[in-house]
């Protein structure tokens, strides 16, 4: 076999390998080179972030406008502080509210932003004033059980009272 | 006499244990010798390129075809199971993650061991049987530097490339079955994949795995060839040993690496 043909084939082979790795990185793992110059961060504090993870999307009206870039616990006040990195082309007013929502019944959790009415926009590094925590299923069931039991107790008490007052 | 018969199995066990440890030691010294003598194969890179052609390029067809079929089977089986739980949308993530983390590196390494590893063993073993290696030594050409090291480096270079190609073909096969044949939404397929696959954690770790497999498989192949009894029967049993030992080592190493990585 001639040397130049072998060289050519090995070159093709290595090129295929590089193309495969590039495909895996860009299309499968979605490593999009982020234009960091253009993005800005906001801080949102939640009592409970539930299952929110770093890299979770930030959506407004269902459109992805950024990602959660960091989550940490504020040890002074014991609230979770999430750093949201938003795309520079989207701006939100100062009374924008953030809530943690779930996509689908058991889907991933994301941060939803609802635009407020104020004229002035949030500046980079600002803190969102209005936040609502994630719904935790156990707490929800717990609340439901308590109110259900209370309802039952009241009904029973009313019944007993009715039985007493009756002659 | 009676005692001798009773002790025979124990003696056999001891003998095979010593043999195994001895072989492991020889193999690690062989690896050190290869690395020490690989200067020539890196300086005269043409030698290595030639071996990359035989080990890597000629394995392209088998890797492409089996990757495609593995991906298509994953698509079918995954769809059947996932649709039972009403989450057929996650098919893209399932296919990509199982290929990147496990199936790509492991299956590509198994195929590589049986296609290129066995060929390396047979070639070196036959060189030994026909006394070509001795002839080289007589001519003051180091057979490890001239014959073994280029093949070793060729295997180490080829393996990650083949594994990456296997992954790509598998994902393409999953796409063919999931989107083209079954008719899942294309956007969901890719976005589920992209949301769940992490570059460092999944893609890079999978490639590191395949690099380790490449080192192990090629080392076993060249060692068995170099170590073969220089007869026709010896070469054939060395080739068999290469395939069997490589398969076992790949699977065992896979467990250890997975335990460390994920």
Q: Is A25 on the interface with B (CB under 8 A)?
A: yes
Would the CB atoms of A28 and B194 count as touching at under 8 Å?
Answer: yes
- What letter does residue B256 receive in the DSSP assignment? H
Nearest CB to B203; choose among A6, A14, A29: A29
For residues A16 and A94, state if they share a domain. no
Interface contact B165-A23, CB threshold 8 A: no
- Cβ atoms of A39 and A87 within 8 Å: the answer is yes
Say if residues B75 and B183 touch (Cβ distance below 8 Å). no
Question: Is the confidence at residue A28, as pLDDT, over 90?
Answer: no
Q: Is A116 found in the same domain as A103?
A: yes
Cα A102 to Cα A114: distance, rounded to the nearest angstrom:
15
**Structurally, how many domains does chain A consist of?**
3
- Going by C-alpha positions, the residue among B36, B99, B32 that lies closest to residue B63 is B99
Question: How far apart (Å, rounded) are the C-alpha atoms in residues B212 and B229?
Answer: 28
Closest chain B residue by Cα to residue A19: B165
State whether A86 and A161 are in the same domain: no
Q: Which burial class, exposed, middle or buried, applies to B224 when counting CB atoms under 10 A from its CB (0-12, 13-18, 19+)? A: buried
What is the per-residue pLDDT for A152? 80
Q: Are residues A141 and A131 in the same domain?
A: no
Among A135, A80, A131, CA closest to A105: A135
Q: Are residues A72 and A54 in the same domain?
A: yes
Does A40 lie in the same domain as A16?
no
Q: Does A13 touch chain B (CB under 8 A)?
A: yes
Q: A42 and A27 share a domain?
A: no
Asked if A63 is an interface residue toward chain B (Cβ–Cβ < 8 A), one would say no
Phi, psi of B132, rounded to the nearest 5 degrees: -70, -35
Over A35-60, what HEC string results?
CHHHCEEEEEEECCCCCCCCCCEEEE
- The per-residue pLDDT string of chain B (262 residues; one tens digit each, 9 = 90 and over) reads 778 888 888 999 999 999 989 988 999 999 999 999 888 778 888 889 999 999 999 999 999 999 999 999 999 999 999 989 888 888 999 999 999 999 999 999 999 999 999 999 999 999 999 999 999 999 988 899 889 999 999 999 999 999 999 999 999 999 999 999 998 888 888 888 888 888 888 899 999 999 999 999 999 999 999 999 999 999 999 999 999 999 999 999 999 999 998 7
Is there a single domain that holds both residue A57 and residue A90?
A: yes
Distance separating alpha carbons of residues B255 and B213, to the nearest angstrom: 12
Where b means 16+ CB within 10 Å and e means fewer, A133-166 reads: bbeeeeeeeeeeeeeeeeeeeeeeeeeeeeeeee
Helix (H, G, I), strand (E, B) or coil at A117: coil
- DSSP symbols for B80-139: HHHHHTT-GGGHHHHHHHHIIIIIHHHHHHHHHIIIIIHHHHHHHHHHHHTTHHHHHHHT
Residues A56 and A82 in one domain: yes
Mean pLDDT of chain B: 92
Residue A52, pLDDT score:
83
Compute, in degrees rounded to 10, the torsion defined by CA atoms B183, B187, B192, B193: 90
| Residue B241 token pair | 């040993």
Percentage, residues of chain A above pLDDT 70: 92
- Check whether residue A43 and residue A112 sit in a common domain: yes
Please provide the average confidence, as pLDDT, over all residues in chain A. Answer: 83
- Residue A32 has a pLDDT of 59
Nearest to B164 among A7, A12, A24 (CB): A24
> Which residues contact residue B150 at a Cβ distance below 8 angstroms, ignoring those fewer than 6 apart?
B41, B47, B48, B50, B51
**How large a percentage of chain A has pLDDT more than 90?**
9
Choose among B194, B162, B189, B211: nearest CA to A64: B194
In chain B, what residues touch A109 (CB-CB under 8 Å)? none
- A77 and A27 share one domain: no
ipTM: 0.83
Instruction: Say what angle helices B149-175 and B205-227 make with each other, to 10 degrees.
Output: 140
Structural domain boundaries, residue A50: 36-135
Other CB atoms within 10 Å distance of the CB of residue B223:
24
CA distance B100 to B206: 6
* Segment B153-175, tens digit of pLDDT: 999 999 999 999 999 999 999 99
How many helices (H) and strands (E) would you count in chain A? 2, 7
Please state whether beta strands A63-74 and A97-102 pair in parallel, antiparallel, or not at all (unpaired): unpaired
Element of type H or E holding A65: strand A63-74
Hey, are the CB atoms on B199 and A12 less than 8 Å from each other? no
Nearest to B168 among A13, A20, A30 (CB): A20
Here the tokens at position A100 are 């943690």
Share of chain B above pLDDT 70, in %: 100
Do A51 and A3 fall into the same domain? no
């Amino acid at each position: 076999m001639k040397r130049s043909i072998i060289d050519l084939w090995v070159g093709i082979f290595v090129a295929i390998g590089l193309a495969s790795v590039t495909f895996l990185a860009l299309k499968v793992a979605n490593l999009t080179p982020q234009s960091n110059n253009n993005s800005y961060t906001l801080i949102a504090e939640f009592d409970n972030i539930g299952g929110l993870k770093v890299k979770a999307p930030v959506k407004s009206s269902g459109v992805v406008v950024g990602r959660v870039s960091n989550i940490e616990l504020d040890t002074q006040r014991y609230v979770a502080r999430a750093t949201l990195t938003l795309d520079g082309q989207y701006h939100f007013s100062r009374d924008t509210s953030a809530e943690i929502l779930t996509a689908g019944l058991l889907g991933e959790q994301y941060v939803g932003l609802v635009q407020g009415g104020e004229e002035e926009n949030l500046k980079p590094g600002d803190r969102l004033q209005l936040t609502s925590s994630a719904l935790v299923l156990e707490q929800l069931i717990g609340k439901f059980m308590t109110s259900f039991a209370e309802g039952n107790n009241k009904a029973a008490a009313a019944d007993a009272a009715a039985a007493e007052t009756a002659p | 006499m009676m005692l001798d018969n009773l002790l025979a199995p124990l003696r056999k066990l001891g003998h095979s244990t010593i043999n195994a440890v001895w072989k492991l030691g020889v193999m690690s010294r062989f690896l050190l010798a290869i690395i020490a003598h690989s200067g020539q194969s890196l300086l005269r890179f043409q030698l290595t390129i030639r071996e990359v052609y035989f080990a890597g390029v000629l394995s392209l067809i088998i890797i492409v075809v089996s990757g495609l079929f593995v991906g298509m089977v994953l698509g079918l089986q995954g769809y059947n199971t996932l649709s039972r739980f009403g989450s057929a949308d996650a098919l893209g993530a399932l296919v990509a993650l199982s290929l990147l983390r496990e199936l790509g590196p492991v299956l590509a390494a198994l195929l590589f061991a049986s296609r290129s590893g066995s060929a390396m063993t047979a070639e070196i073993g036959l060189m030994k049987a026909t006394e070509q290696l001795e002839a080289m030594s007589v001519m003051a050409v180091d057979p490890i530097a001239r014959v073994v090291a280029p093949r070793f480096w060729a295997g180490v270079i080829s393996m990650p490339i083949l594994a990456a190609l296997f992954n790509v073909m598998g994902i393409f096969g999953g796409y063919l079955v999931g989107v083209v044949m079954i008719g899942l939404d294309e956007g969901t397929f890719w976005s589920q994949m992209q949301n769940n696959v992490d570059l460092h954690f999944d893609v890079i770790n999978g490639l590191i795995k395949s690099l380790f497999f490449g080192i192990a498989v090629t080392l076993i192949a060249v060692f068995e060839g170099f170590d073969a009894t220089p007869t026709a029967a010896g070469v054939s049993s060395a080739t068999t040993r290469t395939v069997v030992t490589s398969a076992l080592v790949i699977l065992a190493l896979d467990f250890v690496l997975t335990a460390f990585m994920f």
